[in-house]
Structures are given as structure tokens and as C-alpha cells.
Amino acid sequence: MPRIVRLTTAAPKARRVTTCAHRYELPADLEAPRLLRTWITARLAGWHLHGPSDDLLLIATELASNAVRHGGTPARITLALRCPGTGQRVVRLEVEDSGPGFDPRSRRHPVRVESRTGRGLLLVDTLSSAWGVRPTDTGQLVWAELPT
């Protein structure tokens, strides 16, 4: 069952950052990324956001598909809306799985034209304002951010 988490933290110089986050447990099933797209669309509508939806859905599908295909385990999805004191809101997507992980620097090689795979992280890099990977105690977390 998705969970709603609301966090408020004090930032330097009395700026406040408000974050509203939703979590989703993604099963280790190749059909699961399709269900994730429906879930994300509903969360964005709840926040009255429509601008980042197409790019965010493509990024979410790619990261969730990678987690299921390469990690082979269920994944925890976190979708957060950050509202820093600057007024610009940012949507952050996190996909955490228990798979073996990867080094994103190793994915920087050119993709062969005839290849059917290997372009996903290039899409994530192109469509997001920032993205990254960090190890966790049980696997890895891949995240991407988009301004609203």
C-alpha cells in the first residue's frame, strides 16, 4: 500500500524546504513499470502538476525496468515534491533495489546504432535536471530530479 510522508526541514539561513513524498513497492515483475506509470500520474495530478509528466514517466519506466530486469528484486519507489524557499519546485524520483548495482561511469560508452538496448540512462541524463546513483546497505538507489 502506498504511504504518504510529509517532511519539513530547516535549510541554511532560515530557508525552509517542504517535501511531500509518496512511496510505492514495485514487484519484481516486468509488467510492474506499466503500473508505476499509472501511480505516478495520479500522484502528479494530486499535486496539480502536469508539466513534467511525460519526461518523468519515461524516466520512471526506464529506472523501474532496469531495477526489475537487472536487479531481479522488488524495488521501493519514492516520488517526492520539494518546495525550497526559492520558490522553484522539484520532483524527485528514487528507485531503490537489492540488485548488484552498477557504476554509472561505465555506461558512458557510445551505444551502437543497431543495438536495441543501452540508451535508457542516456535518456535519463538528457531528460532530468540531475540524476545519480548511490549504494545502500542492501543494494543501490538511483534518483532523478526534474523542475516543475
- In sequence order, the β-bridge partners of residue 130 are 145
Q: Is the dihedral of CA 77, 132, 106, 54 positive or negative?
A: positive
Distance CA 112, CA 90 (A): 33
Read off the C-alpha cell for 47: 499535486
Range of the domain at 126: 3-109+117-147
**Hey, is 36 helix, strand or coil?**
helix
The 10s digit of each residue's pLDDT in 37-91 is 999 999 999 998 877 789 999 999 999 998 888 888 899 999 999 886 667 789 9
User: Domain containing 126 — which CATH number?
Assistant: 3.30.565.10
- State the pTM of this model: 0.77
Round to whole Å and give the CA distance between 58 and 42.
15
Give me the number of domains the chain comprises: 1
**Other CB atoms within 10 A of residue 84 CB:** 14
